Structure 1
Amino acid sequence: MKTIAKLFKAGLNDLLNLFYPNPCLLCRNTLQTHEEFVCTACRLELPETGQHRGEALITNQLKFAGKVPVAFVYSYLYFTKKGKTQRLIHALKYQEKKEIGCVLGRWYGYQLKTDCQLNEQLDLMVGVPLHPARLRQRGYNQSDWFARGLSEALEIPWSDRALSRTKFTLSQTGKDRMGRWENVSDVFVVKEPDLVANKRILLVDDVLTTGATLEAFTVALRAAGCQSVGIVTLAATR
């Protein structure tokens, strides 16, 4: 019966795609049945950093050197203005395509598990929280959706209850590093210290620029007694 149901579902999807084609977010060509949001051709052209394999690894690490101790800093894609990554993140944050975050998280999570066994180095992952007002405005936290995909692939628990923002902050866009730090240095609180105490924590965010937000986040977690903090983001500026 399950096989018949799967065949029926596949046939129904093919019929729907015939009349209402589902386009790739990047090239707008119609997606095939097995493709999600991004066609295979565009996926192969995504600007992956390869940082978890040691490629250009030092760039991300230097953003935190001498400031806070971090076990590792990996980003899936390079971010450039008007590039493929920016278009995906824009869809994730502003076009209500939250599921793309989960898909990208699964793709990167499988790489992290296969290439460097990151699943063996972690106990819990948490996403950078939005202020409740911004969360109500957007309807979801894009970092949490990326974290969900990572959690599924790495088979590591994920929680959105560990941290919160205590103040509404202005957009980080256009600020230098000092401005970004001043904007977030006292806005994070560990709501449930027992969740993170003595655990190896993975911080998850959408874009790494100067690292000020994640630095402040790391300070709060370390103060709450976690064993270590590693960082994974969907994208990073070069």
Structure 2
Amino acid sequence: MSNCDRTPQLKSLMQQAGISSFKALSRAAGVSERQILRLRRGTLEQMPLDVLLKLCQVLKIPLSELVASFLVPSLSPYCPLSPVPSPQEIADLKKEYERSQLQLEQQREILLQEFQQSSLQLLESLLLQWPTAAQKAQENPQLAAVKILPLVQKPLEKLLQAWGIEAIAPVGAELPYNPQLHQLLEGTAQPGEIVKIRYTGYLQGDKLLYRAKVSPIG
């Protein structure tokens, strides 16, 4: 199939999806700029299906529309006429797309099941012992909460450790106020002033999940 300039069609789709540049499209879709150049040159038939699917997802269009935009001959003076793909070729691409979508859905389901299984293993002691402990607490209101606390605390700590999640600081700690990590529950505080942790926050690596809730001292 002859090469032609499909840049105007791609720019139009990018504008509709709010994508400002080819480099931004490359990053968002997770495909190389070489593949995007192939699309612009009208050589879609040479591109891997997984690349086309990624571009469809970012551009928010079905595969059939991508095929129509980049395989069907354009009236642009930069694009000489080329053979129109047969209905069978388009139908085959559609079937391949549907098959790939089904595979992706099955992979998501498998990953979800594996995630749930690994989490259940970390919480095993809590799942097995907590119902009995809760029943004993209902039967004996005088039962000290400190005896039940380890049933919750240890599995939770193990789960957070497995996920790489760390507390910003323990409850009750006093430390300099950092507005990026701390949220004031009341009053005011300037960065560097000592505050007290009321509810701990969490970090996952360099990512902030929840800011710790703090109160000014004095």
Q: TM-score, normalised by structure 2?
A: 0.23
Flag the structure with more relative contact order, 1 or 2, with Cα contacts below 8 A and sequence separation at least 6.
1
Q: TM-score, normalised by structure 1?
A: 0.21
More helix, by proportion = 2
